[in-house]
Amino acid sequence: MAIYLIDPLRDPRWDGFLQSHSYASVFHTKAWLQALRTTYRYDPVAFTDAPPDAALANAIVFCRVKSFLTGSRLISLPFADHCDPLVSNRFDLNNLLPQVEQIFASQSSQYLELRCTGATSVELDQRKTLSREAAFAHHILDLSPDLETLFRSFHKSCVQRKIRRAEREGLVYEWGNSDHFVRQFYRLQVLTRRRHGLPPQPLTWFFNLRDSFGEALKVRIVFKSSQSIAGIVTLQYKQAMVYKYGASDAQFHNLGAMPLLFWRTIREAKELALSEIDLGRSDLGEEGLIAFKNHLGTRSSLLSYYRYPADVSIASSKQGPSLARRFCTHLPPSLLRVVGSAIYRHIG
């Protein structure tokens, strides 16, 4: 079977193909790929069996991540929670993936990585050439019930009461995607990442996401008086709203700002007649985050990340991550931003 390599950013068939494919998500779009290229200089490539003069029927999209620190690899896709192979059936996957593996094996890269929902993970679990590298909880909120039913499905003390507390406190909810909103969110993002012992993504990443997605990206902020105390970034594609980033000021956690943010987001998604909110992934060890998303009435499933070849050896240190986290928690925000700007293109 002949395999063709295409650039999704240049191929005129890509947008229509995504619109018609049930597995296509916001992370497959040109907007996401363009933000990756502009910010981190990652080059996208899609593998398909459709010749240039034929309609696209299947594709697996990757970005080439090249780094002198972390090596070279193909990731599908960097910083995406999930990015399923765009195939129509088991036959397509079992024919396309071996060809992708063969082409990859001829290149000087460490590994390729697939980030899959349950839609394709059952098939990939059976492939001996792949190994499951990581697993996460994936949370989806079904928007088909009416607003009253959705509110009643929230955990009474952890969500409902906190929303009422936020309203009593007079917290103000606003949204937009201007430079002002992006910077307000980024200030909170730096605080949150420092609290977790992690550097923040570069500010340019958020500006480039905004520029690529346009009105499909919203920055949603809750203010106490004139001070921003919590914020989230959402992306809209087809009938789904995707919660991608969240941040908050810990000294105001007791006011219920984050539950209020999600409640207002849910209400607006219902007004837009969307079918679901994708609340993204959670590490299986993050019990608090998983509980919070479950308290919003979400259903959870497993996200699986696979690597080829199955026996790839990735150097790691158990001590390194904990030392890095302790280091980051003590850095001033200005230096933490510099660290984030320097390292993220090497992470992918």
Statement to judge: residues 101 and 226 lie in one domain: no
Q: Region 89-99: what's the mean pLDDT? A: 85
In a domain, 298, yes or no: no
Name 204's Cβ contacts closer than 8 Å, sequence gap at least 6. Answer: 39, 341
Query: Each residue of 158-172: pLDDT tens digit?
Result: 999 999 999 999 999
Note down the domain range covering 233: 145-274
Return the pLDDT at 122. Answer: 79
Confidence at 314, pLDDT banded by 50, 70, 90? low
Q: What is the 3-state secondary structure (H, E, C) of the chain?
A: CCCEEECCCCCCCHHHHHHHCCCCCHHHCHHHHHHHHHHHCCEEEEEECCCCCCCCCCEEEEEEEEECCCEEEEEECCCCCCECCECCCHHHHHHHHHHHHHHHHCCCCCEEEEEECHHHHHHHHCCCCCEEEEEEEEEEEECCCCHHHHHHHCCHHHHHHHHHHHHHCCCEEEEECCHHHHHHHHHHHHHHHHHCCCCCCCHHHHHHHHHHHHHHEEEEEEEECCEEEEEEEEEEECCEEEEEEEEECHHHHHHCHHHHHHHHHHHHHHHCCCCEEEEEEEECCCHHHHHHHHHCCCEEEEEEEEEECCCCCCCCCCHHHHHHHHHHHCCCHHHHHHHHHHHHHHCC
Report residue 20: phi and psi, to 5°: -90, -10
Q: Is the pLDDT of residue 316 over 70?
A: no
Number of domains in the chain: 2
Confidence at 319, pLDDT banded by 50, 70, 90? very low
Statement to judge: residues 266 and 311 lie in one domain: no
CATH number where 254 lies: 3.40.630.30
pLDDT exceeding 90 applies to what percent of the chain?
A: 80
Statement to judge: residues 181 and 232 lie in one domain: yes
In a domain, 62, yes or no: yes
Statement to judge: residues 181 and 255 lie in one domain: yes
Statement to judge: residues 155 and 219 lie in one domain: yes
Return the pLDDT at 324. Answer: 67
Statement to judge: residues 126 and 10 lie in one domain: yes
Q: Write down how long the chain is.
A: 348
Query: Each residue of 235-268: pLDDT tens digit?
Result: 999 999 999 999 999 999 999 999 999 999 999 9
Statement to judge: residues 44 and 163 lie in one domain: no
Q: What b/e sequence results for 80-98 when a residue is b if at least 16 CB atoms lie within 10 Å of its CB, and e otherwise? A: bbbbbbbbeeeebbeebbe
In a domain, 287, yes or no: no
Statement to judge: residues 34 and 106 lie in one domain: yes
Return the pLDDT at 326. Answer: 72
Return the pLDDT at 318. Answer: 43
Q: Region 212-217: what's the mean pLDDT? A: 98
Confidence at 320, pLDDT banded by 50, 70, 90? very low
Least confident of 87-96, 206-215, 297-306, 322-331: 322-331
Cα angle, residue 79 at apex, residues 246 and 306 outer, rounded to 5° = 125
The reported pTM is 0.94
Statement to judge: residues 150 and 230 lie in one domain: yes
Confidence at 331, pLDDT banded by 50, 70, 90? confident
In a domain, 279, yes or no: no
In a domain, 317, yes or no: yes
What is the biggest distance separating any 2 CA atoms in the chain, rounded to whole angstroms?
64
Confidence at 281, pLDDT banded by 50, 70, 90? very high
- Determine how many CB atoms are found less than 10 A away from the CB of residue 337: 21
Statement to judge: residues 197 and 242 lie in one domain: yes
Whole-angstrom distance, CA of residue 138 vs CA of residue 119: 12
Confidence at 95, pLDDT banded by 50, 70, 90? confident
Whole-angstrom distance, CA of residue 295 vs CA of residue 298: 7
Return the pLDDT at 250. Answer: 96
Q: Is the pLDDT of residue 313 over 70?
A: no
In a domain, 188, yes or no: yes
Question: Which residue from 313, 245, 265, 247 is spatially nearest to 79, judged by alpha carbons?
Answer: 245
In a domain, 70, yes or no: yes
In a domain, 285, yes or no: no
Statement to judge: residues 121 and 12 lie in one domain: yes
Statement to judge: residues 157 and 84 lie in one domain: no
Q: Give the mean pLDDT of the chain.
A: 93
